[in-house]
Structure 1
Amino acid sequence: MSQYDYLVVGAGLSGAVFANAARKAGKSVLVIDRRDHIAGNVYTEQVEGINVHRYGAHIFHTSMRDVWDYVNRFAEFNNYVNSPVANFRGQMYNMPFNMNTFARMWPGVVTPADARAKIAEQVAAENIGEPANLEEQALSLVGRDI
């Protein structure tokens, strides 16, 4: 007979949520992880009193009330809204780009077909056969303005 009802490999979000639910259901669970901490890629550590995201910033959002209530039992969340912008020729544009962005960037561009044509024109002007680096790859896909 095994010592545990479940073996959970990985102490990230999925593993932690499953392990918690299994324990609440009366099951025995062993959670293992190759890292020396829980929380996977959303692990946060204190450095001189400041929460530091070891693996890069993470943003949690949901429109599902039951999910929001569940996660708020375990962590306190800041009210953060991700609203990146791009500075193009001295003008600020919201990201991700959309037709409003393209119409503001390129006078006369008002339809998706217009935007595709403008991008294709810029890609052709770059004259990149086989991209040699990340910059050339980007230029060969979306042109210089984007």
Structure 2
Amino acid sequence: MEKHYDYLLVGAGLFNGVVAHEAAKRGKKCLVIEKRDVLGGNIYCKEVEGIMVHEYGAHIFHTSNEEVWDYVTDLVEFNHYINSPVANYHGEIYNLPFNMNTFSKMWNISTPEEARKIIEEQKSVIKKDPENLEEQAISLVGTDVYEKLIKGYTMKQ
């Protein structure tokens, strides 16, 4: 018996999950092939001792588009989560992404103008066109922000 499919979808990740869902709503048949033994692609989660583990890394969804939010919440339940990362540089804790709180703690200042002045002074150590990531970062954010918030992270990557 021959099977007929309207679409062949390679990969069972988020995008093809939405395509297959929308196609099915329109009466179309999809064949989804996936090399992993789980569905969801990189957003696959598994439960370990009652805790949902993000098998392929953290995934955080946010949108200000009400139509998109209504669509996804009709399909799945979301946990309330506020992402508030911090950087630990030799025991000093800084907000990420960096902001005025970060600069206030780093330099004991209180205005954007003070932060801008310090960053401009530190950026000036790069006298030529940047030739690598380090020089590019310093030319954009200065030496302190680079050393404390960027260098260690990029080295880890």
TM over 0.5: yes
Give 1:85 shift. 2.2
Partner of 2:102: 101
Q: Secondary structure at the match of 2:114?
A: coil
Give 1:51 shift. 1.0
TM-score by length of 2: 0.69
Question: Does the 8 Å CA contact 2:95/2:101 hold for their aligned counterparts?
Answer: no
Give 1:141 shift. 4.0
CA separation of 1:18 and 1:112: change in aligned 2, threshold 3 A: same
Instruction: Work out which of the residue numbers 122, 125, 138 in structure 2 matches 1:118.
Output: 122
Partner of 1:26: 27
Match of 2:106, as an amino acid? M
Q: Which runs of 5+ in 1 are unaligned?
A: 125-129, 132-136
Structure 2 distance, partners of 1:74, 1:33, is: 21
Is 1:40 the counterpart of 2:41? The answer is yes
Structure 2 distance, partners of 1:75, 1:16, is: 12
Q: Secondary structure at the match of 1:62?
A: coil
TM-score by length of 1: 0.73
Q: Which runs of 5+ in 2 are unaligned?
A: 150-157
CA separation of 1:116 and 1:36: change in aligned 2, threshold 3 A: farther
Question: Does the 8 Å CA contact 1:102/1:115 hold for their aligned counterparts?
Answer: no
Percent identical residues = 49
Q: Secondary structure at the match of 2:32?
A: strand
Structure 1 distance, partners of 2:35, 2:91, is: 47
Structure 1 distance, partners of 2:50, 2:89, is: 37
